[in-house]
Amino acid sequence: MIPPPIVQRGLFTLDRSLFKKTVSVMALRIPANLTMECKKAIGTDMLLEPKIRNVIDSDDGEKSKRLVLLNLDIKDKDLEGASEGTKNFIKEKGIDVTEAQFNVAYDHWTADEVLRAILPEDLVDEAPSSFTTVGHIAHMNLRDEYLPWKNLIGEIILDKNPNLRTVVNKMDSIDTTFRFFKMEVLAGEDDMIAEVRESGCKFKFDFSNVYWNSRLHTEHERLVKMFKPTDAVCDVMAGVGPFAMPAAKKGCLVYANDLNPVSYKCMLENKSLNKLDKNLVIYNLDGREFIRKAVADLEASGYKGAPPSVPGTKKNHGKGAKKEDTPAVAAPTPAPAPVVLEENSNRLKTFDHFVMNLPATAIEFLDAFRGLFKGREEHIPEPKVQLPMIHCHCFSKSEQPEVDVRERVEAVMGGKLELDSVKLHWVRKVAPNKDMYCISFRLPAEIAFASDVKRKLEPAMESASDAVDPLTAESDEKRQKTE
């Protein structure tokens, strides 16, 4: 490895000219016509550093000679550290071993190496060179002790990542209604409109006014894989649609909602961007209101369940069949109509899945399911099959998260879960003693048909300062390290 840059402690304004260094290295002086044979023979004993030429003109002025630079582990003419193959080649060809020099500058070092040369000695061990990428934006979460160097850090990150145009830092202030953090531009363009591709979908959104976490893409994919193309999915806290868009693209009928008007607007744009006009319905409501309205609207639409064909399905209609014989989109378009039960059946078709992706408060909204299907008992004769699965994200600090999360869910819903349907999935660690989970369970008949629909509050698990969404959870994390 190239030696680190010269230490520049106390630098607050980036001066790239200070990062220059001359490095000495052992070299082989060879005839120019022997260059390819030499490189092949010595292999990894040759200097293999990015942006540095390992074959240069000879320093003795002879145009017919070249210098082949050796790696920095070979420190003297005795060639200690070189392979036997390299030593034999040098001896066989009578090659002169000499010392050479090359220059390195700012561009040769990584962001981490430059920051370690600049920051105070007591801060270099966790130099904040990592970040989360959201489209063209680098999203940092700087600890307080690094804030005096925040603009310098942003400039270095921008320099070292040519695919980025903007570097931002999450600020401590949070919007109390829509649960997103304010962003401060550290370097680059003040352009917060991000474009991201995930799970085969395109997303465009204002990163400064909505919530997006690229680290959750695995969780988005995991849940969407559970859905069958013929399922109806209700996404209660949809954000800009990381669950809703891929599910709709898969063929599911999706009702998606978010209270944040900016998220709602972005979902409408993303719906059009992904050509999902026929099987994605978008709302801008409070979560509890949406749950009850979505169920009523789905019933009123005359929904019977999606037909078996799904987008992208190809059918063989025999020789001479035309492509237009296969419909491009299979899911129905909801429209106001009387409740229609499945043909020749007294059963009611409702949502197959509810997704509740607001970990800090989603459990509190589960009281909306109490009595949700009261009066529909005769139309739901098989509740263990017909009632929906609920996927609720949450946080837990407990050493027994399975018990902790289940008991909190039961306290809010006012009834016991059917244990054979309950699964708790670990999503990610958000702080040293705080993990994010997703609890999945079938809505119990006892709760779905309950007469008492009075809201039951979740017992306080955390202090008010902790009880926030994933953004605030990551604020805990930021005190430990930079994202």
Place of tokens 């026929």: 278
357 is in an annotated binding site: yes
Instruction: For strands 253-257 and 232-235, give the pairing.
Output: parallel
Q: How far apart are CA 183 and CA 139, in angstroms?
A: 9
Q: How far apart are CA 385 and CA 331, in angstroms?
A: 21
220 is in an annotated binding site: yes
DSSP, res 46: B
Q: How far apart are CA 74 and CA 42, in angstroms?
A: 12
320 is in an annotated binding site: no
287 is in an annotated binding site: yes
Element (H, E) at 405: helix 401-413
Longest Cα separation, the chain: 97
Side chain identity, residue 404: D
Q: What angle do CA 163, 224, 355 make, to 5 degrees?
A: 105
Place of tokens 């809505």: 443
Q: Helices 35-42 and 84-93, interaxial angle, to 10°?
A: 150
Q: How far apart are CA 286 and CA 258, in angstroms?
A: 7
Whole-angstrom Cα Rg for the chain: 31
With contact defined as beta carbons under 8 Å apart, do 234 and 293 qualify? no
Tokens of 473: 């959870």
172 is in an annotated binding site: no
With contact defined as beta carbons under 8 Å apart, do 158 and 138 qualify? yes
Q: Helices 111-118 and 150-160, interaxial angle, to 10°?
A: 150
Q: How far is CA 401 from CA 364, 398, 428, 430, in A?
A: 17, 5, 13, 15
| Sequence-separated (6 or more) residues with CB below 8 Å from residue 419 | none
Q: How far apart are CA 383 and CA 386, in angstroms?
A: 5
CA 270 remoteness from chain centre: 18
Tokens of 87: 């030593």
259 is in an annotated binding site: yes
Q: What angle do CA 167, 170, 173 make, to 5 degrees?
A: 145
Q: How far apart are CA 352 and CA 349, in angstroms?
A: 9
Q: Which residues are annotated as a binding site?
A: 220, 258-259, 286-287, 357
Q: Which residues are annotated as a binding site for S-adenosyl-L-methionine?
A: 220, 258-259, 286-287, 357
